Amino acid sequence: MNRNYIEDVKRMSVADRCALFTGASGSRTKEFEESGVRSICMTDGPNGIRGDVADCGTGHTKSLCYPSACLLACSFDRDILNTVGYYLGLDARSRGVDLVLGPAINLKRYPLCGRNFEYYSEDPCLTGELAGAFVAGIQRTTGACVKHFAVNNRENKRMSLNCIVDRCTLQETYLSSFARIVKKYRPDAIMTSYNKINGEYAGENRYSLKKVLRRDWQYDGLVISDWGAVNNIVDSIRCGLDLEMPVNDSNTEILKKSVYSGEFPEEELNAHTADLLRRLDGICGRRKDVRFDQEEAYNKLADIVAECSVLLKNEGKILPLKGKKRIGVFGELAIKPRIQGGGCANVQAYGAEDVFTAVRLRFQHCECEFSLGFAEGKNGKQAEKLVSDALAVAQNSDVCIVAMGLPESLESEGYDRKSLKVPGWQIRFLKALYQVNKNIVVMLYNGGMVCLDFEKYAKAVVECYLGGSATGAAAAKILSGDVPPAGRLAETAVRKAEDFSCCPYVAENPDVEIYGEGLFVGYKFYNSRNMKVIYPFGYGLHYGEVKYSEVEITDKKIRIHLVNTSDYDVKETVQIYVNFLDCSYARPGAELKEFRKVLVPKGGERYVEIALNSDCFEVYDYNTDSMTDYSGKAEISVRKNAREIIASRLLTIPGEKRKHYDRNTLIGELLKTPEGIEIIENKLKQYLIKAILGNFNADYLSMKNGRAIGHERFNSMMENMPLRALVNLSSGAFSNEMLNEVLEHLRESDVHG
């Protein structure tokens, strides 16, 4: 039987109703047994179960550490995200967790954002699709909470920063990944962010929260605040926030007072309380008994981590390691693996196998030796000794595996990185190593993108990001080729921090940040400026090779024939980009709109068909202040990465594009249709001449097909003139009545045409 929440709510005291809008602890909502209100338990997420804070009753503190989103995004594979989400959800559910606080899906606008390890990509389509599949995986057994809504793109000043973003950029770039998830995957909850968006805190934002999320997208799940983010509780609730976390009794008092004073009428309180209870009940409704097999999850994750890693360089096909007898392994990160980022996503991971141990185990037939070479905090004589010991090992090795990357202290929630570089002592060691042995393979462990200019000292570079508990095991799989790396970069590898499109707008500790680069984020900016990058978005190599032998492109689907002539199975990532050419504002060129990971077995071939749905053809419309279906010319391209085009086709995307003719329609708009040209010829010509040239010159100009012959300046002036100007500038010759007649005629021909 359906519960009548309003009636239930009315039976509770005002004090109890108000108390429900804040948590009972850092990880629980309140329970009122006599009123049938159950408490839900939530915990971070998304890299594992943060058992130290979750009092979900099972007493577990440790967790399997799942790969970070920065690595998972390189899969370009919805199935992988779904699988990882499934294990994480199962793990959480088996411990009594109702809501996993993740995924975190803010866009990588600023590559130095301290929390980029937790985020997916610089591209909203990739982010939304992959994080959506992750949500679907979690929600097979428990609830998921997508965070942080929205525009939380850096950590310095994250609790107060006022992000100024125009609406087109907001909708297309920063909200659209949330939109994909909300519409397709229906997450149980969404967490609002700390920052302000255009002057209003995200948790009480009338545009992003009230209009877009609750009204336009009709989102009916639980909206919770980030921890400690609420500014004004009444405004927040009115905009659509359900729950303030963690516990804030002072806001309960404020809420009560507002009800008693009539500022927040009781009916309003009741309606919001009923919504809150219904949403919490929905989450409780997922509860069921499950069994989580940690070993099974770990083994699967080890394969996934290897597969997601990105092979950036592989000179002379040095990888996978074949026929090598002596393997030297170097770097502190090879024995103390960097597996996750800092902050609330950090879990107490079960002892993770390190890279060196895993390599030694896999390459038992070889001599494997470890030497530190470099370590954080070692200087002077100590550092020199480390280097000389390591060089002795290197001289005696067939191949040198160097684990490099960012030390844990450099990237975390709460602050941004200061530099794009890996620490200088790592590079100095690499250069010294290069002098004695050129067979160098760099395994890179970092959460945020780093400057890869050191790659010239290595024959192979594998971007491993942060792989969680299975980091070591995955390294052995990559090096041996048991699981070849098949990842593609989900962010551009740029040469220097000054290249970021947001660079001119980012101060170290600002109060306000203007998103002046607009739609031009990541590869969209680098492509539009044809800028040099080290590796483009979407880039990644394979041990084998796949060729695109046929490509057919229509606006409904793409058909591709892939052939693998190599000795390795290849998981190829097909990327589809769309460039909207008929837009009323400048756009950044080709944008990723679809992607598909396809296994092409060694020596085999595959035909792939990828449907293009309406999501691929949405753009922001200034007239309606919303995303809308695009129609007009578009170039659709199949690419290997954001820079490498395999095939492209110029098409006209059909659509019900009705022209909205009114007094302010430009003559240039009329010139785009035969009816418009006819009207100019038959009804407007003489008044246009009068309006632009005045009485005395009218005769000296002749027009044909809506254009003045031999008078380009006149044509430019005319194109940019609104219809109303004919009334204003024709000294009464063209009246408002005549204008209305013309408009009626145009509208009719649009309906019938």
Residues near ligand BGC (CB under 6 A) are 44, 101, 147, 226-227, 344
Complex with ligand BGC: residue 222 or 718, whichever CB lies closer: 222
- Please tell me whether residue 260 adopts helix, strand or coil conformation: helix
Q: Which is nearer to ligand BGC, 255 or 344 (by Cβ)?
A: 344
Cis peptide preceding 150, ω within 30 of 0? yes
Q: Which is nearer to ligand BGC, 12 or 146 (CB)?
A: 146
Q: Which is nearer to ligand BGC, 103 or 485 (CB)?
A: 103
Find how far residue 150's CA is from the centre of its chain.
11
Closest CA to 391 of 338, 428, 336, 442: 428
Q: How far is the CB of 2 from ligand BGC (least distance, A)?
A: 32
- Smallest gap, in angstroms, from Cβ of residue 416 to ligand BGC? 14
> Which of 101, 718 has the CB closer to ligand BGC?
101
To ligand BGC, the closest distance from the beta carbon of 143 in angstroms equals: 13
CB of 479 to ligand BGC, least distance (A): 34
Question: 14 CB contacts (<8 Å, ≥6 apart)?
Answer: 256, 259, 260, 266, 269
CB-nearer residue toward ligand BGC: 44 or 242? 44
Annotated active-site residue 8? The verdict is no
Shortest Å, Cβ 245 to ligand BGC:
7
Q: How far is the CB of 466 from ligand BGC (least distance, A)?
A: 16
**What DSSP string describes 156-198?**
TTTTT-EEE--HHHIIIIIIHHHHHHHHHH--SEEEE-SSEET
Work out the end-to-end distance of the chain between its first and last CA atoms, rounded to an integer number of angstroms. 53
- Give the Cα separation of 362 and 653 in Å (integer): 53
Contact 204, 241 (CB under 8 A): yes
Q: How far is the CB of 157 from ligand BGC (least distance, A)?
A: 14
How far is 517 from 540, CA to CA, in rounded Å? 27
- Is residue 21 within 8 Å of 233, Cβ to Cβ? yes
From the CB of 247, what's the least distance to ligand BGC, in Å? 13
Q: What are the φ and ψ backbone dihedral angles of 175, each rounded to 5 degrees?
A: -100, -20
Residue 202 vs 255, nearer CB to ligand BGC:
202
Instruction: Check if the beta carbon of residue 45 is closer than 8 Å to that of residue 146.
Output: no
Q: Are 443 and 332 in contact (CB under 8 A)?
A: no
**DSSP one-letter code for 65:** P
Smallest gap from Cβ 105 to ligand BGC, in A, equals: 11
Our CB check for ligand BGC shows the closer of 217 and 227 to be: 227
- Residues sharing a CB contact under 8 Å with residue 187, sequence separation 6 or more, in sequence order: 135, 139, 143, 144, 145, 146, 181, 221
The least distance separating ligand BGC from the CB of residue 463, rounded to whole angstroms, comes to: 25
Which residue is listed with tokens 């200019």? 453
Q: What is the CA radius of gyration of the chain?
A: 30
Contact 275, 20 (CB under 8 A): no
Hey, which bits of 219-321 come out as E strands? 222-225, 310-314
- Judged by DSSP in three states, 5 sits in helix
Residue 147 vs 459, nearer CB to ligand BGC: 147
Least distance (Å) from ligand BGC to the CB of residue 532?
35
CA distance linking residue 77 with residue 71, whole number of Å? 12
Of all residues in this chain, which one has the CB nearest to ligand BGC in the complex?
A: 344
Residue 147 or 360: the one with the smaller Cβ distance to ligand BGC is: 147
CB of 226 or CB of 491, closer to ligand BGC: 226
For residue 751, with 0-12 CB atoms within 10 Å meaning exposed, 13-18 middle and 19 or more buried, which class applies?
exposed
DSSP 669-695: HHTTSHHHHHHIIIIIHHHHHHHHH-S
Q: Residue 212: which region, alpha, beta or left (left: phi > 0; alpha: psi -120 to 50)?
A: alpha
Indicate which residue of 44, 123, 188, 226 is catalytic.
226
For 516-583, give the DSSP string: TTTT--THHHHHHTT---SB-TT--B-SS-EEEEEEEE-SSEEEEEEEE-SSS-EEEEEEEEEEE-S-
In the bound state with ligand BGC, the residue whose beta carbon lies nearer, of 345 and 470, is 345
Residue type (1 letter), 213: L
- HSE-CB at 205 with a 13 A cutoff on CA atoms is 27
* Token pair listed for 127: 């982010």
* Least distance to ligand BGC, CB of residue 162, Å: 18
Residue 223 C-beta: closest distance to ligand BGC, Å: 14
Distance CA 82, CA 76 (A): 12
Angstrom CA distances, 54 to 25, 42, 63, 87, 146, stand at 9, 7, 12, 18, 18
Q: Nearer Cβ to ligand BGC, position 414 or 655?
A: 414
The neighbour count for residue 722, using CB atoms within 10 Å, is 16
Structure tokens at 665: 């329609």
Catalytic residue numbers read 226
